Amino acid sequence: MYSDLNMLSENDDDDIVINEFKILTQLFAHNGWKNNINNRSLEHIVYTKIGNETEFFEIKLDNNNIYVSVPLKNSEFQYKVKFKNYLSAIKYTEDKFNYFNDTDTVNYNNINNNY
C-alpha cells in the first residue's frame, strides 16, 4: 500500500504527494471524517469528525519535516510528532486514527471501490 512512498523526496512534484495522501483521505472519509486541504502543495491538511469538529488530525509539511498532530483519546489535548518521510507520517496517522476510532483493520478494496 505504501511502496511508492519510499521514493518520495522533497524534490518530488505535488501530484505524487497528493496521490499518496489520497489513501489516507479515503480512510477518513469512509469513517465519517472530512478533510480540509489549504492549498495544492499540501502544506496543511486537517481531518475533522463531521458533527464534532473539535476532534481533528492535522498534518503540516515544510521543506524538511512532516508534523502530525493527533487527538488523545478521551481528552481535549493533541499529541504532535515530527517525521522525515511521508511513509512514516502516513502510517503513524493511519495507526492513530484506527486506535482513536477502535478500528482494527480496514478493507482498502472496499474504500477504493466506494470513491
Element (H, E) at 63: none
User: Domain-by-domain residue ranges, the chain?
Assistant: 3-113
Q: Specify the pTM.
A: 0.72
Instruction: Could you list the beta-strand ranges (E) of the chain.
Output: 33-37, 44-49, 52-61, 66-71, 78-83
Q: pLDDT tens digits, residue range 21-44?
A: 788 888 999 999 998 776 565 688
pLDDT tens digits for range 51-74: 888 899 999 988 889 999 999 988
